[in-house]
Structure 1
Amino acid sequence: MHDIITITLNPALDKSTHVAQVLPEKKLRCNEPTYESGGGGVNVSRALKKLGGSSCAWVWVGGPSGKRLCALLQSEGVDVWAVETKNWTRENLMVMEDNSGNQYRFGMPGPYTYEDEWERCLKQLTQMPDEELPKFVVASGSLPPGVPEDFYSQLAGIAKARGFKLLVDTSGDALLKAAGEGVYLLKPNIGELAALAGKEKISAMEQEEIAMQVINAGKCKVLVVSLGARGAMLASKDGISYVVPPIVPQQSAVGAGDSMVAGMVLGLLNGNSLGDVARYGVAAGTAATMTPGSELCRQEDTDKIFRWLQEHKVQQV
């Protein structure tokens, strides 16, 4: 039994390399690549492990790339429940240009996922014995072709019926259709918050009112809006508060959002207040920006930032 399950229907095998300079129509000599398992929920499970927590990563994988992804996860000590798909798992490419320090990220489309494959998730959660049900399910990332846009909404229906708490971190139509009864926590950014309100853009002066509209409309119980380097806004039935992180030496923002979700779900599991849940999430997300490339948060950095946030919370609204 696992208290936390992460769900990633569109994982990726992430390949990273360095090159002196990116030039058109030239054969570019790259350094030996490194491989990592990737995708929203996968990264949440990896970050949880780094923070001293544990989870089971549910992944939909196929082909040699899928097998390698699972092997990489297991080598990090992450438990895996894999659904084998007919089509191969996608591979993404990140190239670091040494001359400039620029990072080029090439994201490939996900493979077509058949109905009998994605339905395995819903059936498994529906049929699991009560004593094996998780306390929290994190559904994160994009949906691959073939998976209906209301998939996360269907998950929310199961969460409501079976009593586990569902955290959703996605975008686009999948986010709009997910928002509703059965979702415990949503983690949009400002642009996604605007979409939840049916707007193209919102100003900083509007964000609090719109966040409370989302809560009062029953689209989730808790809303944590990512504000990038400015931290996060927490909205719940108790109102609005902000978490503003300290200034830290930043190397890469890759994985910050997934680390933030990992910090929050770990805080929830530990029974922390919503304020401390948001603070630990912001601490983990900020810690991830201190690491190079696609490396996720480190526990030592996260705990240090969290202590700072606790000491300075009286200054936060």
Structure 2
Amino acid sequence: MKRIITLTMNPAIDVAYETDRVFHTRKMRTQQEHYDPGGGGINVARVIARLGGTARAYYLSGGATGCALDGLLDKHALVRFRIPIEGDTRISTSLYEKDTGKEYRVVPRGPEVTAEEWEAALHHLDGPQAEYLVASGSLPPGVPEDFYCRVCELGQRHGMRIVLDSSGEALGAAVRGGGLYLIKPSIGELRKLTGKALADESEIAAAAREIVDSGKAEHVAVTMGHDGALLASRSGTWRLPALPVEAKSAVGAGDSFLAAMVFALGCEQDIIEAFRLGVAAGAAAVLTPGTDLCHREDVERMLKLAPKLSGPQLIEKEQAHEG
């Protein structure tokens, strides 16, 4: 298997609770408490490990909560490299209300990171360490918005394929900089990135293909929730519907999708099969409650439900109207 490393600039301890009902002011007694190491790149590394691979996780960690994060990572037996910071690692909370089936999520911005600290992250990545470098998640305060551009430039110098999953200006700056191998925006993130409404499937496909055709990224995988997912590559555009599952939590679905794609690519599968595995893993993730991620047996079961893909399925307005 190809070597994979992940980078998480804004990790978190993910806490998940269940309660019967949510009230203001009053105490809410909870059940089913779970504590997991979180943040985009860390979640990707966890899923790759569950699927039978290995990814070395680079991440920032600081304060007492940072020590707790380190311990949780060791509990999950992840190969890890800690980049120390002064600030406290954030804690993200997910609260599931059993009476209504609603989920409430509280996600802090994260600690202030100094220039010396984020530059240390670049320093530790500066070497031919892997074939794939997955940079995933938000940037904490203090990290420049073009940080992922610098990661991409660094990775290109060492022949690494850069996979990016972020949002806002961090994603926008990286796409404008170009040189990316794979990006995985949600449909909401793609709308913000392009500044377009993207009201139908043909417009989504066109926006994703424009990024590919401009040379900014070789592949664009767009996750669209209940509408499935779409992949644009130089050889064509493909779409898969959402798989039929009873959703328990949407937390971690995007990370599971991306991790499965990178795992498949690391096993030298082609991009189409990687896309199918990603859709299966995203569906498997929503089967798990709270902050849990997908499990291998669920991914394998979901993969059997994912339609086979063959040949470029160019999605055009005319085709959509014919349907």
TM range (shorter): over 0.9
Shift of 1:260: 0.4
- For residue 313 of structure 1, give the secondary structure of its aligned residue in structure 2: coil
Shift of 1:210: 1.7
Alignment partners' CA distance in 1, 2:2 and 2:233: 27
Question: Does structure 2 retain, via aligned residues, the 8 Å contact 1:191–1:200?
Answer: no
**Aligned 1:123-272 pairs, distance under 5 A:** 123-126=123-126, 128=127, 130=128, 133-179=129-175, 180-272=177-269
Alignment partners' CA distance in 2, 1:4 and 1:277: 15
**Aligned 1:290-305 pairs, distance under 5 A:** 290-305=287-302
1:274 counterpart = 2:274? no
1:80 counterpart = 2:80? yes
Match of 1:64 in 2: 64
The unaligned stretches of length 5 or more in structure 2 are 314-323
Match of 1:14 in 2: 14
Give the length in aligned residue pairs: 312
Shift of 1:253: 1.3
Shift of 1:56: 1.0
Alignment partners' CA distance in 2, 1:269 and 1:2: 5
Alignment partners' CA distance in 2, 1:255 and 1:109: 18
Question: What are the Cα deviations for residues 60-118 of structure 1, in whole angstroms up to 9, with x where unaligned?
Answer: 01111111111111111111100111011011222222333322211112000011111
Tell me which amino acid in the other structure corresponds to 1:253: A
Match of 1:119 in 2: 119
Shift of 1:199: 2.5
Match of 2:42 in 1: 42
TM-score of the superposed pair, with normalisation by structure 1:
0.92
Alignment partners' CA distance in 2, 1:32 and 1:247: 26
TM-score of the superposed pair, with normalisation by structure 2:
0.91
The unaligned stretches of length 5 or more in structure 1 are none
- For residue 282 of structure 1, give the secondary structure of its aligned residue in structure 2: helix
1:22 and 1:182, CA in 2 relative to 1: closer, same or farther beyond 3 A?
A: same
Alignment partners' CA distance in 2, 1:195 and 1:101: 29
Shift of 1:298: 0.9
Shift of 1:203: 3.2
- In terms of mean alpha carbon deviation, does 23-32 or 4-13 score higher? 23-32
Alignment partners' CA distance in 2, 1:286 and 1:279: 11
- For residue 59 of structure 1, give the secondary structure of its aligned residue in structure 2: strand
Tell me which amino acid in the other structure corresponds to 2:27: K
Tell me which amino acid in the other structure corresponds to 1:138: V
